[in-house]
Structure 1
Amino acid sequence: MGMTSVKSLSKGYLPSWLSSFRLFINYIISFTLSSILSLLWFYLKPWVKIGLRKCTGLCELQRICYKTEKGAQRSLEVEKCVYSSKCQIVKTIRNQLDDVAKNGRFNSSNTREVVQLVENAVESICNEKEINPSNHPEFVTAMRICFLQIYGYKNLQYKINCLRNVPIDLNNSKHVKKLTKLWNSLNPNNPLQSKISSQWIEIGFNCEDPVANFRGIGLLGLENLLYFSINYTKNAQQILNHSKSTINGFPFASTGIYLTYVTINLLNTGRLKTHFYNSHFGTTCLEDFHKVYCYLFCALEHLWLKEKSNNENDLSFIKEKLISKLDSELERNDIILKWIPL
């Protein structure tokens, strides 16, 4: 046994416990170095910023705005800078804008207050950083756009989560009207017989009562399906027809509701920032969210047909593949989710 162990070691083979121990030591060393470097940067960063300010004559926000094109890269860097700033003026600005956005008031229907807040924010930053707006008009414009994008996104999160928390009620005439519109847009030649009907199962609901499918996603799930079916009727009807195929069908409505969950998750985790910051140089609204949802529905159907799936069990694999594809795409700072409606 002793000779075998010596020979194994001489040939480069290590016992499993020794290999594990070596990996553990490497991890500890790597973690320690990383922590030391992070700590050093924490203390050195203010001095580095002061040095750069002296050398370039520009503050950090100016350097970001001048070195990047408008869009995701610039707005993400500005957002990070604003939220990591220890400057009391910047803290006050972000708290004020956060309060407006997180209460659903940072939108186009409240233009006067939004414009005033943004102008005050940019003016306060210029005063604090000793920036003459007349000499740096590009910076002023860039900061206006960044603030509109950053807090417009937060406002959209508020709006979406409010809609999600509204349960669908068949005793609410407005909700019933929306459900009827959904049915009529998808099946114009086949009238709905009643609010609770087996007809709902034909378009992919799990049971005769469509409300059951919307539990947990609320009115938002219905609004998504309705927007898609009314504004992109040809696409919606084509996907519905494919979903009814006996060869490679899938539940249309249930899949659509699942995609609402996916879109909410992308929004709330910030992964949709790259898309919105590249495609909207102002505030975002509910319709912008709906359009991303429509893109996802069409992208899912494309993958489904491409994979030539033939049973509902394959749908989980297709969903995972779609999410993986989205995660990869949304990591890019130049991404805009585009699709061509029928």
Structure 2
Amino acid sequence: MKHFLRMLIQVCLYFYCKFLWRCLKFVMRKLTGRCELQRICYNTKPGASRTMKIETSLRDSKSKLLQTSVSVHPDAIEKTIDDIMELKKINPDINPQLGISLQACLLQIVGYRNLIADVEKLRRESYDSDNPQHEEMLLKLWKFLKPNTPLESRISKQWCEIGFQGDDPKTDFRGMGLLGLYNLQYFAERDAAAAQQVLSDSLHPKCSKFSKAEWEKKRMDKAIGYSFAIVGINITDLAYNLLVSGALKTHFYNIAPEAPTLSHFQQTFCYLMHEFHKFWIEGNLFIVDHCPPYKSLSEFHSIPRHEFGIGFPREISKQVLVREKKV
């Protein structure tokens, strides 16, 4: 009974607040002579703040046209803006900047939705060893990470040197599909020097970052390291969840003047790889792969969100815990 009453009160409060909000919008419209979309565009600077306010306004509108405008095809955005201006009885000749501002916001909003679809498609596509394109990407990953070391054969224990679990990496991509491979290759190709350094640190952290005295002071085992590729796949999972949850909207709406693309997502992945590696180096974290329970990145989620600059949500960042046995 108490639970029912609590839910009833919450429902009543929701509709009460919604009613008050609509009354406030009506009053503001009468006082300023501008609709909510106009007030947002004129009073808020371009960027994430404006776009997210526009998105909320469109979604919460009682107009079907405004509600569906956030999911139109990119080619239909211009016509949608014209329809909105007509619905709101706004003269585009008197308010030319409004149409431009709304179009920029809708490009970002629709682009974010389309980016989720593109990323999801890659995530659902399984690695196929019979697909020449997939095989070529995998071999390129090796070349970018180990340019001076030839791969002896496609099925080889050498794959463990870049952080895969066995002699055939295709089994490690089951969790995130081709998306994991796309991200790893992007990182290795576009930021080759950094990727090779991160790989080297993951294999030989004692030699690369700390003196012998420092490591002895920290009481760290010389074999401490982590599996580069497996961590990359788990970071891909983290980036994917950040994207789908909407946590990356602020970041993408600020850096992408129009529609965010797959390259923006991959750049975010590279950033997360750098941040993870930095946190691992500074935080005395390590992973053991011989027996549970694993000592892993359990403190990574406690980093304050503002330090990542992309609205890093703590509840999602917990998913970066490296599950080497579960990929």
TM range (shorter): 0.7 to 0.9
Residue of structure 2 in register with 1:199 after alignment: 158
Structure 2 unmatched runs, 5+: 205-221, 289-293, 313-327
Q: Which moved more, 1:132-141 or 1:237-246?
A: 132-141
Q: Say yes or no: does 1:241 pair with 2:200.
A: yes
Cα shift at 1:94: 4.0
Deviations 1:149-178 (A, max 9, x none): 000000100100011111111111111111
TM-score scaled by structure 2? 0.82
Residue identity matched to 2:241 = N
Give, in whole Å, the separation in 2 of the partners of 1:296 and 1:328: 8
Instruction: State how 1:263-342 maps to structure 2 within 5 Å.
Output: 263-312=239-288, 313-321=294-302, 325=305, 329-331=309-311
Q: Which moved more, 1:170-179 or 1:223-232?
A: 170-179
Give, in whole Å, the separation in 2 of the partners of 1:205 and 1:195: 13
Per the alignment, in what secondary structure is the counterpart of residue 296 of structure 2?
A: helix
Give, in whole Å, the separation in 2 of the partners of 1:310 and 1:272: 28
Cα shift at 1:64: 1.3
Q: Which moved more, 1:33-42 or 1:70-79?
A: 33-42
Deviations 1:78-101 (A, max 9, x none): 111111111133245345x0xx3x
Give, in whole Å, the separation in 2 of the partners of 1:309 and 1:73: 36
CA separation of 1:28 and 1:89: change in aligned 2, threshold 3 A: closer
Instruction: State how 1:128-277 maps to structure 2 within 5 Å.
Output: 128-245=87-204, 246-277=222-253
TM-score scaled by structure 1? 0.78
Deviations 1:124-162 (A, max 9, x none): 111111111222223222101100000000010010001
Task: Confirm or deny: 8 A CA contact 1:163 1:220 kept in the other structure.
Answer: yes
Deviations 1:45-101 (A, max 9, x none): 333222211110000111111221111111111111111111133245345x0xx3x
Aligned with 1:57 (options 29, 33, 42): 33
Task: Confirm or deny: 8 A CA contact 2:156 2:167 kept in the other structure.
Answer: yes
Task: Confirm or deny: 8 A CA contact 1:303 1:318 kept in the other structure.
Answer: no
Residue of structure 2 in register with 1:118 after alignment: 77
Higher Rg: 1
Instruction: State how 1:93-104 maps to structure 2 within 5 Å.
Output: 93-94=69-70, 97=72, 100=73
Residue identity matched to 2:184 = L
Give, in whole Å, the separation in 1 of the partners of 2:161 and 2:180: 18
Task: Confirm or deny: 8 A CA contact 1:170 1:195 kept in the other structure.
Answer: no
RMSD of aligned C-alpha atoms? 2.5
CA separation of 1:73 and 1:52: change in aligned 2, threshold 3 A: same
Per the alignment, in what secondary structure is the counterpart of residue 133 of structure 2?
A: helix
Instruction: State how 1:9-24 maps to structure 2 within 5 Å.
Output: none
Give, in whole Å, the separation in 2 of the partners of 1:319 and 1:212: 26
CA separation of 1:192 and 1:272: change in aligned 2, threshold 3 A: same
Aligned with 2:44 (options 68, 79, 86): 68
Deviations 1:201-255 (A, max 9, x none): 1111111110111002111110100000011001100000000024531110000
Deviations 1:233-287 (A, max 9, x none): 0110000000002453111000000000001000000000000001111011111
Give, in whole Å, the separation in 1 of the partners of 2:44 and 2:52: 11
Give, in whole Å, the separation in 2 of the partners of 1:234 and 1:260: 20
CA separation of 1:129 and 1:310: change in aligned 2, threshold 3 A: closer
Task: Confirm or deny: 8 A CA contact 1:250 1:315 kept in the other structure.
Answer: no
Cα shift at 1:314: 4.1
Task: Confirm or deny: 8 A CA contact 1:168 1:211 kept in the other structure.
Answer: yes
Task: Confirm or deny: 8 A CA contact 2:122 2:178 kept in the other structure.
Answer: yes
Cα shift at 1:42: 2.3
Residue identity matched to 1:290 = Q
Structure 1 unmatched runs, 5+: 1-24, 101-105, 107-113, 333-342
Task: Confirm or deny: 8 A CA contact 1:62 1:139 kept in the other structure.
Answer: yes
Give, in whole Å, the separation in 1 of the partners of 2:266 and 2:88: 39
